[in-house]
Structure 1
Amino acid sequence: MNSFSLAPLYRSTIGFDRFNDLVEASMRVEAASYPPYNVEKKSEDEYRIVVAAAGMADEDLEIQVEKDVLTIGSTRRETADETQYLHRGIAQRAFKLSFRLADYIEVQTATLKNGLLSVDLVRRIPESAKPRRIAVNGTASKLVSVDKAA
């Protein structure tokens, strides 16, 4: 695996230490191969994670968010029947996928339809974290909020 240093970027960033660490960590970690999943960007502030969950029911899946980490997992269900398979191509093994969520990303809904688990995410930035313009004048500075369109 080729590696490269992001050190030159550190000189031009202030307060992005955690972001730089996340980028470097993501380059070191191998991607999970089971189950297959997609990460979609629906709009500027809306995302969706779609996980192939063939043969699984709602009660087989567990979704939780803890300390900005979204974890999607399943437990292997024991079947009472003693089916003899000639070919078993639909894997129903336990899995655990973890996704680190950026600041202000919230899980909105989760639905299971046609063997696909869809987890919708939305970014909700509080007013205190939105960009603002700082007026410069001789005596006291006054804060003015900045609209996205401006």
Structure 2
Amino acid sequence: MQNLDFSHLYSNAVGFERMARELEGAFAQKNSAYPPYNIEKRGENSYSITIAVAGFEREELELETEQGTLKVKGRKVPAEGERHFLHQGIAERDFELAFKLSQHVEVQGAKLEHGLLTIELARDMPEALKPRTIPIGKSDSLALPS
């Protein structure tokens, strides 16, 4: 039986690691998205997405969030003058990536360095949703609603 891998289905979902691990092993192929990117967990509640955007200027990139989805767009402005490539290995085509964000994951910022766009994310769980310890008192100290 072939070993299957579902991880590519959740490669664009940040904060869903458990689901991705549970479904891992469902497909044999990896997602071949352009441009290539990494999603990294940096701490208990912080993540980063690093996208290889060689050849793109800051003005040619756009980030936006809408309804729990982070969209990253690259629109290449054609270079002035005619260019004659002997070999073109750096793709300079437009792209759009969409990353589904888990609940309470927010974009903290982004930077472009050395052809890599790094987007910082953090999960900010509201206090009401965080696990808490409930003290157990004596039976005579429990006040029942009237």
Scaled by the length of structure 1, the TM-score of the pair is 0.70
2:69 equivalent in structure 1? 69
1:36 equivalent in structure 2? 36
Write the distance in 2 (CA, Å) between the matches of 1:32 and 1:136: 53
Write the distance in 2 (CA, Å) between the matches of 1:140 and 1:66: 45
1:90 equivalent in structure 2? 90
CA offset at residue 126 of structure 1?
1.4
Gaps of at least 5 residues in structure 1 are 4-18, 142-150
Gaps of at least 5 residues in structure 2 are 5-17
The 5 Å alignment of 1:15-30 reads none
Q: State the identity as a percent.
A: 39
CA offset at residue 84 of structure 1?
0.8
Q: 1:60 to 1:36 in 2, by over 3 A?
A: same
Answer 1 or 2: higher relative contact order, Cα 8 Å, separation at least 6.
2
Moved over 2 A (4+): 132-141
Write the distance in 2 (CA, Å) between the matches of 1:140 and 1:70: 47
2:103 is the counterpart of 1:103: yes
Asked whether the equivalents of residues 32 and 97 of structure 1 are also in contact (C-alpha less than 8 Å), the reply is: no
Instruction: Report the residue type matching 2:40 in the other structure.
Output: E
Asked whether the equivalents of residues 63 and 71 of structure 2 are also in contact (C-alpha less than 8 Å), the reply is: yes
CA offset at residue 31 of structure 1?
2.9
CA offset at residue 56 of structure 1?
0.6
Q: Secondary structure at the match of 2:112?
A: strand
1:80 equivalent in structure 2? 80
CA offset at residue 2 of structure 1?
8.6
CA RMSD in angstroms comes to 2.7
Q: Secondary structure at the match of 1:40?
A: strand
Scaled by the length of structure 2, the TM-score of the pair is 0.72
Q: How many residues align?
A: 124
